[in-house]
């Protein structure tokens, strides 16, 4: 299948056309549950129950695992949803997507969904992200980390009985126990309190001691209690809370994640000239970032209008370098 190209296809059908072990990394954000009607019968997100929605996503990512190399990683950005009250505009399907809460990522807008939200009471937070994470783990993925996308500029909410939602999840999963992860490429600036150990430490029984020839006990950074010498480090391992402002994309469809959010996903998860997969590529953010970082991409999108939008965006932002 052609790389650096967005294929107009339902994602599961498109993935079945890819050979085994052919992509290095997958970075994606599937349609959120009950949020948008994209006007296509094959769309994901308007299932009758959260369980059915999760089941469909698990099937998609099972196919992603097949086409991924053994040391590949999956990065999934997904938001949560609330069970609705069946009152106001959101209680009527024909008005649901125009209702104020229906435009807020994470609120159920379809009456049919609200009625059949199994086990949920009115106003319950459904827990979609963790439902997906645990389902993927049960299906064979290694669930490695939950990363918090903290939004300094969240969408305002007119709620008075809870805090305004200002975060989403990114889950890091891997195909195998050992996998490609370039931690140095995404290191952050270290604080003054961060130190790194230097010198050789040898273990004898339950005790550890440093080879004397490699350490200077007169160094103020030498600690007799640990027989180790320290130095201040310029870089530190990246933390698991990422503060990234939301960003608008001209003419983009809903559920656009900012480019800055996925830069480190791609840098850490895919080697240069490798292939990044996005089965829900939408307006093309993954494609743009992948090419800027000297990676290739394969994308699938169900709606031809969004493909045209993404291709125009890629042309404008990358030009001859696409």
What is the spatial distance between Cα 201 and Cα 211, in angstroms, rounded to a whole number?
7
Q: Are the beta carbons of 164 and 154 closer than 8 angstroms?
A: yes
What is the spatial distance between Cα 272 and Cα 68, in angstroms, rounded to a whole number?
16
* Start-to-end CA span in the chain (Å): 17
94 occurs within a structural domain: no
Q: Check whether residue 270 and residue 291 sit in a common domain.
A: yes
Which CATH number fits the domain that encloses residue 73? 3.40.50.150
Q: Check whether residue 75 and residue 202 sit in a common domain.
A: no
Give Cβ neighbours of residue 163 (< 8 Å, ≥ 6 apart).
none
Q: Check whether residue 17 and residue 75 sit in a common domain.
A: yes
Cα within 13 Å of Cα(223), Cβ side: 11
Q: What is the largest CA-CA distance in the chain?
A: 78
pLDDT of residue 168: 95
DSSP H helical segments within the chain, as ranges? 11-15, 50-67, 111-115, 128-138, 259-269, 285-292, 304-318
Q: Check whether residue 280 and residue 138 sit in a common domain.
A: yes
Tell me the pTM: 0.82
pLDDT of residue 224: 61
Q: Check whether residue 316 and residue 199 sit in a common domain.
A: no
311 occurs within a structural domain: yes
pLDDT of residue 208: 45
Q: How many domains does the chain have?
A: 2
What is the spatial distance between Cα 307 and Cα 300, in angstroms, rounded to a whole number?
9
pLDDT of residue 88: 38
CA 165 from chain centre, in angstroms, equals 18
Q: Check whether residue 164 and residue 50 sit in a common domain.
A: yes
- Write out the two tokens for 226: 């640990």
63 occurs within a structural domain: yes
Q: Check whether residue 218 and residue 316 sit in a common domain.
A: no
Query: Domain of 206?
Result: 195-232
180 occurs within a structural domain: yes
Q: Check whether residue 70 and residue 9 sit in a common domain.
A: yes
Q: Check whether residue 45 and residue 137 sit in a common domain.
A: yes
Residue ranges of the chain with pLDDT lower than 50? 85-112, 114-115, 198-204, 206-213, 253, 320-321
Q: Check whether residue 312 and residue 199 sit in a common domain.
A: no
pLDDT of residue 94: 40
19 occurs within a structural domain: yes
CA 228 from chain centre, in angstroms, equals 39
Q: Check whether residue 244 and residue 291 sit in a common domain.
A: yes
Q: Check whether residue 76 and residue 221 sit in a common domain.
A: no
86 occurs within a structural domain: no
What is the spatial distance between Cα 113 and Cα 92, in angstroms, rounded to a whole number?
11
107 occurs within a structural domain: no
215 occurs within a structural domain: yes
pLDDT one-digit tens code per residue, 120-159: 888 889 999 999 999 999 999 999 999 999 999 998 888 8
What is the spatial distance between Cα 136 and Cα 34, in angstroms, rounded to a whole number?
20
Cα within 13 Å of Cα(167), Cβ side: 13
Place of tokens 């490695």: 144
In this structure, are strands 23-28 and 68-78 parallel, antiparallel, or unpaired? parallel
Q: Is 269 helix (H, G, I), strand (E, B) or coil?
A: helix
pLDDT of residue 97: 38
């Amino acid at each position: 299948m052609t790389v650096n190209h967005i294929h107009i296809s339902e994602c599961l059908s498109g993935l079945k056309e890819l050979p085994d072990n052919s992509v290095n990394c997958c970075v994606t954000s599937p349609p959120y549950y009950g949020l948008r009607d994209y006007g296509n019968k094959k769309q994901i997100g308007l299932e009758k129950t959260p369980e059915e929605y999760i089941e469909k996503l698990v099937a998609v990512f099972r196919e992603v695992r097949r086409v991924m190399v053994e040391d590949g990683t999956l990065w999934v950005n997904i938001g949560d949803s609330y069970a609705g009250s069946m009152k106001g505009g959101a209680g009527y399907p024909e008005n649901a997507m125009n209702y104020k809460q229906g435009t807020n990522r994470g609120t159920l807008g379809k009456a049919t969904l609200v009625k059949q939200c199994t086990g949920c009471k009115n106003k319950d937070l459904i827990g979609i992200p963790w439902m997906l994470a645990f389902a993927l783990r049960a299906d064979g993925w290694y669930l490695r980390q939950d990363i918090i996308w903290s939004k300094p500029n969240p969408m305002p909410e007119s709620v008075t009985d809870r805090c305004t939602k200002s975060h989403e999840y990114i889950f890091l999963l891997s195909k195998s126990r050992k996998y490609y992860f370039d931690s140095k490429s995404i290191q952050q600036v270290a604080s003054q309190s961060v130190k790194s150990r230097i010198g050789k430490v040898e273990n004898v029984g339950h005790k550890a001691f440093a080879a004397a020839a490699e350490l200077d006990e007169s160094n103020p950074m030498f600690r007799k209690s640990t027989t180790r010498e320290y130095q201040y480090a310029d870089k530190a391992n990246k933390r698991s809370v990422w503060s990234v402002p939301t960003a608008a994309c001209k003419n983009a469809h809903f559920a656009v994640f900012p480019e800055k959010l996925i830069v480190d996903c791609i840098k850490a998860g895919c080697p240069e000239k490798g292939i990044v997969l996005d089965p829900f590529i939408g307006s093309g953010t993954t494609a743009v970032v992948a090419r800027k970082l000297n990676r290739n991409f394969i994308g699938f999108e169900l709606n031809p209008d969004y493909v045209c939008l993404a291709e125009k965006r890629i042309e404008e932002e990358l030009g001859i370098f696409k």
